[in-house]
């Protein structure tokens, strides 16, 4: 019985360790996949082809994304917005302390077609 508990604990620990979760702060109200997100702190759960945006442990939206590994480490997290008629949408996010860049919207389609 003890062995089962340890095995289960080890499996859970590995699952948590492999999860790609990051924190970001939106400084502008932002439209993501048709949904407006208010300014504030969010959690990004990065999957293979999408990102789930979570606030206060509630999923806000899941959006298609391209996850890129670049050859240098980003010093800080940076969100690049696209502004159209006073509305902001996220074009890409560079995740500080990592070599990961998340691409959204037209960038995902454009880079996928290359």
Spans of all domains in the chain: 20-112
Q: Which of 62-71, 77-86, 102-111 has the lowest mean pLDDT?
A: 102-111
CA distance 29 to 17: 31
Of 90, 114, 83, nearest to 104 (Cα)?
A: 90
pLDDT in tens, 24-52: 999 889 998 888 999 999 999 999 889 99
């Amino acid at each position: 019985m003890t062995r089962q508990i340890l095995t289960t604990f080890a499996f859970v620990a590995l699952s948590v360790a492999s999860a790609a979760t990051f924190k970001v702060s939106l400084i502008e109200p932002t439209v993501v996949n048709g949904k407006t997100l208010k300014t504030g702190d969010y959690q990004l759960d990065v999957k293979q082809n999408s990102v789930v945006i979570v606030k206060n442990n509630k999923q806000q939206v899941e959006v298609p994304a391209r996850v890129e590994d670049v050859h240098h480490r980003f010093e800080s997290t940076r969100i690049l917005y696209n502004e159209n008629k006073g509305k902001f949408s996220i074009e890409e996010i560079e995740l500080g302390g990592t070599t990961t860049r998340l691409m959204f919207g037209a960038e995902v389609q454009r880079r996928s077609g290359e």
